[in-house]
């Protein structure tokens, strides 16, 4: 139930993101909401349930990526969840400073994985350095806004389970 509501909130936020950013004249991919959802799941969920939910987060991201290979974001979010799960054991992802740092590292890694998987699996992809540079603004904006973007997901936890995310860290 909790994971399903988190996925619905993510899909709604992603659906609202494109028109709002379009009105502002900003590219819609400037903010990586699926990455934030994956990090939230890594910080607050059990390993298997969080991994499956993160893979579905990747499918949602694939659905919002026109022209992309189906499953690429699913693989990337699965890998990022496992890495973030290890980091969440050492750093409290519910605190702003560790969250910003982990988000910056994860966003950079996601850009590199996307580039690598595109080279390996997408025959139409032309490897250029500009593709990697496009990930830099996304990394910075996502990292800075990560503490604010955790709030809707924490609200779902409070609504469904009646507890704060920090209480689920040990589960």
- Tell me: the pLDDT tens digits for 121-139? 888 888 888 878 888 999 9
pLDDT in tens, 41-53: 999 999 999 999 9
Q: What integer best gives the mean pLDDT of the chain?
A: 88
- Angstrom distance (rounded) from CA 40 to CA 48: 14
* CB burial of residue 40 (10 Å; 0-12, 13-18, 19+): buried
Residue 106, classed as helix, strand or coil, is: helix
> For domain 2-166, which architecture applies?
Orthogonal Bundle (1.10)
Predicted local confidence at residue 147, as pLDDT: 95
- Non-local (6+) Cβ contacts of 108 within 8 A are 135, 139
98 falls in which pLDDT band (50, 70, 90)?
A: very high
Q: Is 125 helix (H, G, I), strand (E, B) or coil?
A: coil
Listed in sequence order, the DSSP H helices in 25-95 are: 33-44, 47-63, 72-90
The answer to whether the Cα torsion of 84, 85, 91, 92 is positive or negative is positive
Q: In the structure, what pLDDT confidence band is assigned to residue 163 with cuts at 50, 70 and 90? A: low
Q: For the chain, which residues make up each domain, given as ranges?
A: 2-166
């Amino acid at each position: 139930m909790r994971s399903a509501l988190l996925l619905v909130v993510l899909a709604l936020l992603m659906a609202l993101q494109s028109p709002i950013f379009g009105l502002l004249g900003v590219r819609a991919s400037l903010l990586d909401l699926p990455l934030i959802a994956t990090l939230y799941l890594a910080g607050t969920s059990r390993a298997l349930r969080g991994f499956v939910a993160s893979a579905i987060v990747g499918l949602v991201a694939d659905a919002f990526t026109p022209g992309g290979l189906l499953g690429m974001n699913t693989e990337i979010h699965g890998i990022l969840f496992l890495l973030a799960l290890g980091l969440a054991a050492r750093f409290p992802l519910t605190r702003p400073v560790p969250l910003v740092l982990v988000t910056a590292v994860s966003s950079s890694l996601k850009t590199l994985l996307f580039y690598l998987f595109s080279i390996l699996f997408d025959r139409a992809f032309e490897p250029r350095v500009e593709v990697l540079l496009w990930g830099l603004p996304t990394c910075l904006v996502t990292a800075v806004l990560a503490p604010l973007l955790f709030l809707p997901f924490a609200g779902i936890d409070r609504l469904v389970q009646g507890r704060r995310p920090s209480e689920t860290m040990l589960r």
